[in-house]
Structure 1
């Protein structure tokens, strides 16, 4: 049986990144997993055309916390269009049975979430933070 948790997932679950509130909030996002009650709140700071700071408050399982932390790190310093592309690539990567190389190469550190794909019920956990970030990115007034 394949392992759900790898070392990198456990590291981010125990010590998530981007847990300090941003100073100047440009947009917020929220997502809830109605099935289990996990939730994620996001704040984005935006300056000079890029997302320059991210705050993530993930409540729930280790997969949710780790994937939220990883996605926050990946969108920092991207412009909203680049962030939206990354989000789409990650969601496609998580929801496809085949591992298309174009998705694996365009999601950066989020590749470590691949182990979750062997547990379809947990894919919602792995994209919850992404949904909250997507919500916030869509609210950025550029």
Structure 2
């Protein structure tokens, strides 16, 4: 299992934190529209999709070591985003599926994966090392 993750002492804890992020995004995505704050400007929801999925993708790029695992995480995030859109349509009365949201998710996922090619890719491992020093 350790070959799957970048070097750290508690990979399961970091993976659980990533899953918690997924749960948070799912919960926020399925809230009734009336429970959300008003949009400060048109299109802000697309920015939220881009940033949210980008953050989840960047975290995955910092968590998973092999390129194959990062690609699987990116594909899983895309499927997750499509599933959330379908769930909004099927399970809520005030939200609807939007292909533009899926495109914003995909863009965020792609941007987040770029972290794997930067010095930021070692950030989680560095935090882990400091926490367990």
Instruction: Provide the TM-score with structure 2 as the length reference.
Output: 0.38
Q: Which structure has more helix as a fraction of its residues?
A: 2
Decide which structure has the larger Cα Rg and report it: 2
Per chain length, whose mean CA-contact separation is higher, i.e. which structure has more relative contact order (CA < 8 Å, sep 6+)? 2
TM-score by length of 1: 0.36
More strand by share: 1
